[in-house]
Amino acid sequence: MKFISLSILLASYVAGQCSNSITINSQGDASGLSSCSTFTGDINANAISADSLDFSGITQVKGSITISNSFNLKSVNFPDLKSVSGSFNLLNNTQVISLNTAQLSSCGNFIISNNPNLRTLSINSISTISGFSIINTSIDSISGLSFKNATFIDVSANSYLNKIDFSTLTNINGFINIADNDSGSTANFPNLLSIGGNSTFRGLSSLNVSNVTTLVDTFNLNGNSFTSFSLDKLSNVSKDITIFSNSQLSSFKVPLLTSIDGGIQIRQNPLLLSIDEDAFPNLATVKGGVDINGTMTNVTFPKLTRIDGAFVLSTSGNADCNQIKKTLTGVYRGTFSCNAKTASSSGGSSSSSGSSAAPRSASFNSKLAGSIVAIALIAATFF
């Protein structure tokens, strides 16, 4: 009878130890959880002095894990961890070198941020995830991941990262930001079909998003070094397409797009000498404006029948503004403006009533600015 009572007490103690959120202050605290195959609650380790943490024994956490602001910490080990119902967060640990979550297959948000010396990251078993973020580390490759859906993707400011491969990813419900990694970094999304939020691709030497069919928010290509890109399957764009300051870009193709609900902005791509008939061969309707700036000698939209906003072209190339205006007469509902190097551009500018040439977000910004001025005047009156 005493034996049974002791067993019950022991079981109750273990259950209590494994079912309340805990703050980890040392390796001893982490080792104390080794009997908890399933831990219910949050595990937090903040500003600890230990140089390593090992959480052997834990296979499931019904809560979140956060390890943060521990400036002596060099390694974090979850060798048996398979699932986390909440977020896994490794934040602001300046000396941490390695993170082992090799068996982790299911997680809420997986956030690795501001661990500048992190070189070894074992995450290749993740098959189900919510959001995924790797920011400011020293890892050189992200590949082998098997999840198909994510709420957001942020891979940025990893100065040694040169390979970014999400081969199985098909849908992103929110934003994607791939930016400011190694200057020679490549990004491969061969099976990605839709992006539900703002998308930014910056500082890449190669980009593959050729199978994307749907963009729900603005698509930004900014400061890349690849020579060409294609959106071969793109057919739905709900906001803007922005192609800005890509130093080596000389051509691009968006062959299936017939209508864009926002605007098009193509600016400061010095080697993009022509927007020819292969760039937007089937585009018929732009519900925002078209804003083009650069060195173009030719601008052609072979099937364009309507621009609800304005058309603006400013180029140092030998473009024929008169011919461009003639081609687009009756197409644009806003103003037409063309400034080019050749003499034929003189008199090639005209205006009519309508919205601005910038994508729709620009008109929102102008309204916001007007509201701010109005508020300032009211404030000045009363004060």
Q: What ranges do the domains of the chain cover?
A: 21-139, 218-341
Nearest to 43 by CA among 19, 65, 73: 65
Kindly give the residue spans of alpha helices, DSSP state H, lying in the chain: 2-17, 27-31, 321-328, 360-382
Whole-number pLDDT of residue 182: 98
The residue type found at 30 is A
Nearest to 162 by CA among 189, 190, 143: 143
Q: Token digits for 96?
A: 């941490």
In the three-class reduction of DSSP (H, G, I as helix; E, B as strand; rest coil), residue 247 is classed as: coil
How far CA 289 is from CA of 62, 266, 306, 337, 358, in Å, comes to 49, 11, 10, 12, 5
Could you tell me the two tokens for 13? 């103690």
Please give the pLDDT value at position 16.
59
Q: What is the predicted pLDDT for the residue at 293?
A: 98
- pLDDT score at 17: 85
Task: Give the per-residue pLDDT at 123.
Answer: 96
Supply the pLDDT for residue 341.
85
Look up the pTM and report it: 0.87
Query: pLDDT tens string for the chain (383 positions)?
Result: 444 444 443 444 445 589 999 999 999 999 999 999 999 999 999 999 999 999 999 999 999 999 999 999 999 999 999 999 999 999 999 999 999 999 999 999 999 999 999 999 999 999 999 999 999 999 999 999 999 999 999 999 999 999 999 999 999 999 999 999 999 999 999 999 999 999 999 999 999 999 999 999 999 999 999 999 999 999 999 999 999 999 999 999 999 999 999 999 999 999 999 999 999 999 999 999 999 999 999 999 999 999 999 999 999 999 999 999 999 999 999 999 999 986 444 444 443 333 333 444 433 343 333 443 343 333 333 33
CB 54, CB 80: distance < 8 Å? no
Out of 3.80.20.20, 3.40.50.720, 3.30.950.10, 3.30.70.3280, which CATH number does the structure's domain 21-139 have? 3.80.20.20
Strand partners, 206: 186
Q: How far apart are CA 176 and CA 54, in angstroms?
A: 32
The C-alpha atoms of residue 309 and residue 332 are separated, in whole angstroms, by 7
End-to-end CA distance of the chain: 81
pLDDT tens digits for 93-117?
Answer: 999 999 999 999 999 999 999 999 9
Sign of CA dihedral 75, 79, 82, 84: negative
